[in-house]
Amino acid sequence: MDLLMARPLLTRKDLAQRFSRSLITIDNWRRRGLLPAPVYLPGCRFPFWRPIDIQRYELKRKHAKD
C-alpha cells in the first residue's frame, strides 16, 4: 500500500516532504494554482489535500515530462 494513501488528508508538511521542497515553496505553489485545490476543514485555517488528488497530480506531472 502506498504510504500516500494511508493518510486520510495530507498537510503542507507532508507535501513538502513528499516533493523535497520547503513549506514556503508549497505555499507558493498553492497560491499560484500549481497544486490541486486544497480542502479546508470547518474551524481550521490550514489547507489539507486528499491523497488521491496528489496522486493524480503526480501522474499528470510525470506524463507532462515524458
DSSP 2-40: -GGGGSSSB-HHHHHHHHT--HHHHHHHHHTT-SPPPEE
- Residue entry with cell 507532462: 64
Residue 6: predicted pLDDT? 63
Q: How many Cβ atoms sit within 10 Å of the Cβ of residue 35? A: 20
Q: How many Cβ atoms sit within 10 Å of the Cβ of residue 15? A: 23
Residue 63: predicted pLDDT? 83
Domain ranges of the chain: 7-65
CATH topology of domain 7-65: Arc Repressor Mutant, subunit A (1.10.10)
Res. 66 pLDDT band, cuts 50 70 90? low
> Residue 18 above 70 pLDDT?
yes
9 close to 44: Cβ distance less than 8 angstroms: no
pLDDT tens digits, one per residue of 20-56? 999 999 999 999 999 999 999 999 999 999 999 999 9
- Residue entry with cell 515530462: 65
User: pTM to 2 decimals?
Assistant: 0.82
